[in-house]
Amino acid sequence: NCSFKGILEDFIDSIDAIEVLNTNIFKKDNQKALKFAKKHNLAFIASSDAHSPEFVGRGYLEIPGDQLSVQQIFQQIKNKNVRIIGRETNILGKGKNKNPSKTIPST
């Protein structure tokens, strides 16, 4: 269980999006975040959370459009017009991960 769950629910109206793919944590933790986001109809985001070069770009947010402003990017996220792409780190945290990338549509 997430120790912040009660706190998050107290502030749900202030949360724009939840990170549902962090490539530096285990799959079950990402699944908890995804379940929470869906339960509360929140937008999704992703990150590599890279602590070394080989992990950069393992998780990212794909947003349609060219040369978007910061405001447009935020709006696309809030409108759930994004795709989460990436994969979790394997249990040993090695750069070579046999788990294929996955895509999570935000709708």
Output the tens digit of pLDDT for each of the chain's 107 residues. 455 667 778 888 999 999 999 888 888 888 999 999 999 999 999 988 888 887 788 889 999 999 999 999 999 999 999 999 987 766 655 544 444 555 566 65
pTM: 0.74
**Do the Cβ atoms of 36 and 18 come closer than 8 Å?**
yes
Let me know if domain 5-105 sits in CATH 3.20.20.140.
yes
- Domain boundary assignment for the chain: 5-105
pLDDT of 93: 52
